[in-house]
Amino acid sequence: MEHATSELVPVVVSQVSYLWLIPLFPLIGATINAVLGWKLQGLFGEKPGQKGGRGKQLVHSIAVTAMAASFAVAVYAFFQLKALPSEDRFLQQTLWNMLTAGRLSVDFAFALDQLSMMMVLIVTGVGTLIHVFSIGYMAEEPAYWRFFSYLNLFIFAMLLLVMGDNFAVMFFGWEGVGLASYLLIAFWYQDKEKAAAGMKAFVVNRFGDFGFIVGLMLLFWGLGGAWQARPGVLRNTSYTPSAELNTMAAATTAAQSAALAPPVHGVKVGPTMNFRELRDQVVIEATGVKEHLVNSTVWGVSLLTLIGMLLFVGAMGKSAQLPLYVWLPDAMAGPTPVSALIHAATMVTAGVYMVARLNFLFVLSPSAMGWVALIGAVTAIFAASIGFFQYDIKKVLAYSTVSQLGFMFIGVGTGAYWAGVYHLLTHAFFKATLFLGSGSVILGCHHEQDMRKMGGLQKYMPVTRWTYLIATVAIAGFPVANGFFSKDEILWKAFTSHHLALFGTPTPWLGPAIYVIGLIAATGTSFYMYRSYYMTFTGEYRGDTGHGDAHAAVAHAPAAAAKVAHAPAAHGHADAHAAPAHGAHAAAPHDEHDEPDAHDDAHGGHHGGVPHESPWQITVVLAILAAGSVLTLFLGIPMLWSHVPPVLEHWLEPVLLAEVHWPEMPHAMEWLFQGLGVLAATVGFVAARAVYKDNRNEQALLAMIERWKGVWTTVFNKYYVDELYAAVVIAPFQALSRGLSWFDGRILDGLVNLAGTVTRFVASIDGAIDRYLVDGAVNAVASITQGAGRSLRHLQTGRIQTYLYGALGGALVVVLVNFLLP
């Protein structure tokens, strides 16, 4: 990680024309399935709940083909990138200009460097496998097309996030994955709790996104993007950025915009959204940008620390760190492939990716780094301890994910960027394996998620068992699978880092402290993972073997009646958020997570009562991912063993150029710490084996729980964090909204009603005038006319003789007048 700053030069960009294809394929897949999916699925006259017919084949073929095509293009890009000299590996494609204002020019553009290349390969590769897995897992789902459409949409957004050349495109992806996550968590939206979980994820992420966007704006401001000229902005440079930003009319095209900004030492300087331009002007010291940023303060706080913290708030939301992690365990309400893809392998690592991408910025602020690492460490141990006593297999994995994300943030926080990113990669493999394994278990046990109802599954599900075991070994940190290599590197770097700071003052003890926390968390990781393994796969099957009949008759009776509807009444949640007493009973009602597949008689009869191995789409994917969990260890063989830098570190070196000084440590010490890592894993393993293997120590376990009941209840109820949120965040908000509602109901409505009453009074006067005066005059004319008509109509008898009398009378008058008048 040692670089001489003087060697740093602007990034050399290779323009290519096919990058847009990578996100395009999933977008097409999502669009086709969203618009035509339900038609395609019903094309061959299938009933909605039917298992894997030809219509469904069509739907998943579209989705999987899109993913495979995307992966193929990514692999092609990888080889092209690899062919370039290592310092110049940067593929870029600009599609169109989105915004030009003064010097600021934002393009819709994609970029691939070593870091985003790795992410793209993970997203498309693991994504493809999980699509295949979903074919088996979701086979009975009526809204099959909707699922695959969402899944493709997620991949599209995730690719925007990692491939975006600038903050704008990244932010599109950032919000897009949030949307896809929301849609998929609330996939079974008829169930109120699942819909609520989706909303929770979305709302909590809003908090994070707010921090993220404020951080971006602050960074933009710090680089000189302000409407008013500020004194002292960017010394050493020859231009005043604010003046040009003010004259929007001065530049409307990219060329004009570029002309406004004379490059300083060959680098574009000033406010930018582009990662590459930002990197260039920050890392090349001759531009003076670095000096300016380091010396800037806002209200006495270092600007860079503030930016780093706010960006990390965004990462906290997306990557589920304390205190914004609460949405991730609830996100397990989504289908299991979603948990594996979004809430373990890809989306939740977006925060880690972002911090690693901006490593050159974070490294300038030891305080920001210190906070990132500290929060990561606290999250790691906090979530690990919650994982100890969860009974829902997916909840265990969810807290494990939160904990592992904490490890990644320890890595990127202490400056061991490549190690954090490497843990991201290894975690993508082993956690995807674990989640998909749990999905396979859940499917095999007829949608049972409670580990107390499992046990002995090694007999029924050999493939799932072995892959789960391999992934458990990987996450626990034994040096035969990938997890050891990333976690050990992170912890070692944490121990040796002495440059971290909190509140702007250097705190050399922070690194070792984080190491100790991390080591304890690693022990816990090993413990809860082996616990879940032993509870699930060893001992005797504790589920109801008469499942098919008894279950369908009792718990699933409403579901059987409603078939496609999900019968929310049949849900009893073990994690009952507001019932502490509930947790005190070991035999608490367990989860009845009804997956909305057809829980009818055919289901029970088809499967029989005993668990069964999953279809080939599931086992093949599990095998591939488990193999990946082992094979990716070769990317991170430590220098201590091989005397060459790890493959991945070497690959990422040009991107992760942040300059962190690690003190030289004796080799013996490094060996010792690796030994400590293995020891931690072993301790966890032995403890879990002693307690949970074959379910043989159940009495002792219950006695222990009884003895430490207070602690156990607290941990089992997740330290009452949800209740804390309810009291601290939700309750004040509800009080506020009640107050506002009162204000609205009484004051505002009163004003509105007053205005209404006044208007009505005026209107009634107007009405009276209208009615009596105007209408009276009109009516008078009308009635006079009518009266005249009524009396005159008697003359019109229709009788010829009457008219004759008239004529005679007339003649008589004429004669009389003639005679009488002189």
Partner 1 sequence: MQISLSHFLAVGALLFSFGLVTVATRRNAVGVLMGVELILNGANINFAAFNHYVVGGISGQIFALFVIVLAAAEAAVGLAIVLAVFQTFKTIDVRAADLMRE
Residues in contact with partner 1 by CB under 8 A are 796-801, 804-805, 808
Least CB distance to partner 1 at residue 821 (A)? 23
The residue whose two tokens read 């156990």 is: 712
Taking the least distance from each CB to partner 1, the nearer of 666 and 798 is: 798
The angle subtended at Cα 514 by Cα 508 and Cα 516, nearest 5°, is 115
Report the residue number, 45 or 798, with the smaller CB distance to partner 1.
Answer: 798
What is the distance between the alpha carbons of residues 340 and 272, in angstroms, rounded to a whole number?
35
Q: What is the CA radius of gyration of the chain?
A: 36
Minimum distance of partner 1 from residue 812's CB (angstroms): 11
Q: How far is the CB of 786 from partner 1 (least distance, A)?
A: 18
Q: How far is the CB of 798 from partner 1 (least distance, A)?
A: 3
Q: How far is the CB of 807 from partner 1 (least distance, A)?
A: 10
Closest separation in Å from C-beta 782 to partner 1: 23
Q: CB neighbours (10 Å) of residue 637?
A: 16
Closest C-alpha to 162, from 74, 283, 30 = 74
**For partner 1, the closer CB: 262 or 806:** 806
Nearer Cβ to partner 1 (299/819): 819
C-beta of 796: minimal distance to partner 1 in Å? 5
Q: Measured from the CB of residue 783, what is the shortest distance to partner 1 in angstroms?
A: 23
Structure tokens at 562: 């409603």
If the CB atoms of residues 708 and 803 are measured against partner 1, the closer one turns out to be 803
Residue 808 CB, nearest distance to partner 1 (Å)?
Answer: 7
Considering the complex, state which of residue 206 and residue 790 has its C-beta at the smaller distance from partner 1: 790
Reference 67, options 619, 463, 621; nearest CA is: 621
Picking from 636, 660, 677, the residue whose alpha carbon sits closest to that of residue 518 is 677
Instruction: Kindly list the distances between the CA atom of residue 748 and the CA atoms of 347, 656, 704, 736, 738, in Å, as whole numbers in the listed order.
Output: 44, 56, 59, 16, 14
Rounded to a whole number of angstroms, the minimum distance from the CB of residue 820 to partner 1 is 20
State the Cα–Cα distance between residues 432 and 346, nearest whole angstrom. 10
Report the candidate in 382, 477, 377, 384 with the shortest Cα–Cα distance to residue 427.
Answer: 477
Q: In sequence order, what are the beta bridge partners of 94?
A: 109
Per-residue exposure over 132-169, b if at least 16 CB sit within 10 Å of its own CB, e if not: bbbbbbbbbbbbbbbbbbbbbbbbbbbbbbbbbbbbbb
By beta-carbon proximity to partner 1, the closer residue of 703 and 807 is: 807
Give me the phi and psi of 23, to 5 degrees please: -80, -20
Rounded to the nearest whole angstrom, what is the least distance from the CB of residue 793 to partner 1 in the complex? 9
3 state DSSP class of 267: strand
C-beta of residue 324 within 8 angstroms of C-beta of residue 250:
no
CB of 256 within 8 A of CB of 237? no
Q: Residue length, the chain? A: 822
Among residues 232 and 798, whose Cβ is nearest to partner 1?
A: 798
Closer to partner 1 by Cβ: residue 589 or 810 = 810
Q: Which of 699/796 has CB closer to partner 1?
A: 796
Q: How far is CA 744 from CA 731, 734, 754, 756, 760, in A?
A: 19, 15, 14, 16, 22
Residue among 83 and 800 whose Cβ is closer to partner 1: 800
Determine the straight-line distance between the first and last CA of the chain, rounded to whole angstroms: 140
